[in-house]
Structure 1
Amino acid sequence: MNITILCVGQIKEKYFRDAIAEYQKRLSRYCKLQMIEVADEKTKENASEAENDLIRKKEGERLLKHIKDSDYCITLEIDGRMLTSEGLSKEIDRLGLAGKSSLVFVIGGSIGLDTAVLKRSDYALSFSKMTFPHQLMRVILLEQIYRSYRIMRGEPYHK
């Protein structure tokens, strides 16, 4: 399966880059993984909702350029569906069995995703009602995808 992590902004902290590289290495046994980062927009501290909408729209346009019609698009959203690790594993497995060979997980920037991206989404996934830094979310997502493949194959890791 081809899995793309599509996200806004670049990782600046070495410890996040190291963690991402480790999970990319681990996942290489199970899938073809691609990380795509699109440029983020500078967000003012006290931006109006109209200014935030414009920022989300610009970032959303950049994201949508990387999502093909044939991709199964999973957006990470606070109000999305929450799954257990086993549930995510079953969902990835189900999608593969249903002929979906390309999954795109989309992580928005600091102020979220544009409505056009949300409309393109095939599945809204939530990891928590809490807000996480989008850089950390990449690591959490990669770990859960890795855990999913280990669960699917009955390999030791999941506890």
Structure 2
Amino acid sequence: MNIKLIAIGKTDSKTLELLIKTYQTRLGFYINFSMEIIPDIKHSKNLSETQQKQKEGELILSKTTSTDAVILLDENGKQMDSIGFSNDLQKHMNSGVKQLVFVIGGPYGFSKDVYEKADGKLSLSKMTFSHQMIRLFFIEQLYRGFTILRNEPYHHR
């Protein structure tokens, strides 16, 4: 199985980029992981929230296929602990899905079309984080999930 993270907008912080890269490298020992960054919409100040979500949604959907399992990182998604997340990863791997795609939306969330395509929603916290920081938090949790599945000491129970 492949795992892909799609995110809107670039990361401005070199420190965050370095940490994200560190966990991406670590993930490579467990799974084929890729991250695809969709550039911020140009002239978004001239668009309504709905128009911006629609444009971002079209770009997000263009990066997925009909056979992908798509999970949105969404504040109203299912919350779980790290062990529950690792179990969820195992279920996806056992299901035979070829590519599991996680998506971090833009500042206003997702379009109706993206919600309709999604196979699920996951919330990392009830708190709000910047879209740049959530990338790091998510990739770290993905790495943690695989260390849990392998019974490795990274996650202390």
Normalising by structure 1, we get a TM-score of 0.93
By how many angstroms is 1:118 displaced?
Answer: 1.1
Q: Say which SS state the counterpart of residue 19 (structure 2) adopts.
A: helix
Is 1:63 the equivalent of 2:60?
yes
Unaligned runs of 5+ in 1: none
3-state SS, counterpart of residue 129 of structure 1? coil
Letter paired with 1:12:
D
CA distance in 2, matches of 1:29, 1:93: 16
Task: Kindly provide the CA deviation profile for residues 82-107 of structure 1, in whole angstroms up to 9, marking residues without a partner as x.
Answer: 01100110000011111112110000
Equivalent residues of 1:8, 1:40 under 8 A apart: yes
SS in 2 for 1:25: helix
Alignment of 1:59-138 (within 5 A): 59-138=56-135
- Distance (whole Å) between structure 1 residues aligned to residue 53 and residue 94 of structure 2: 34
Structure 1 SS opposite 2:48 = helix
Q: Report the alpha carbon displacement of residue 143 of structure 1 after superposing the two structures with TM.
A: 0.3
Q: Name the count of aligned residue pairs.
A: 155
Code of the residue aligned with 2:129 in structure 1: it is F
- The 2-side partners of 1:67 and 1:153 are apart by 29
Structure 2: runs of 5 or more not aligned: none
Q: Distance in 2 between matches of 1:154 and 1:113?
A: 35
Equivalent AA in structure 2 for residue 3 of structure 1: I
CA distance in 2, matches of 1:110, 1:54: 12
Question: Aligned partners of 2:155, 2:95: CA distance in 1, in Å?
Answer: 25
Structure 1 match to 2:149: 152
Q: State the identity as a percent.
A: 37
Deviating beyond 2 angstroms after TM superposition, the runs of 4 or more aligned structure 1 residues are 41-44
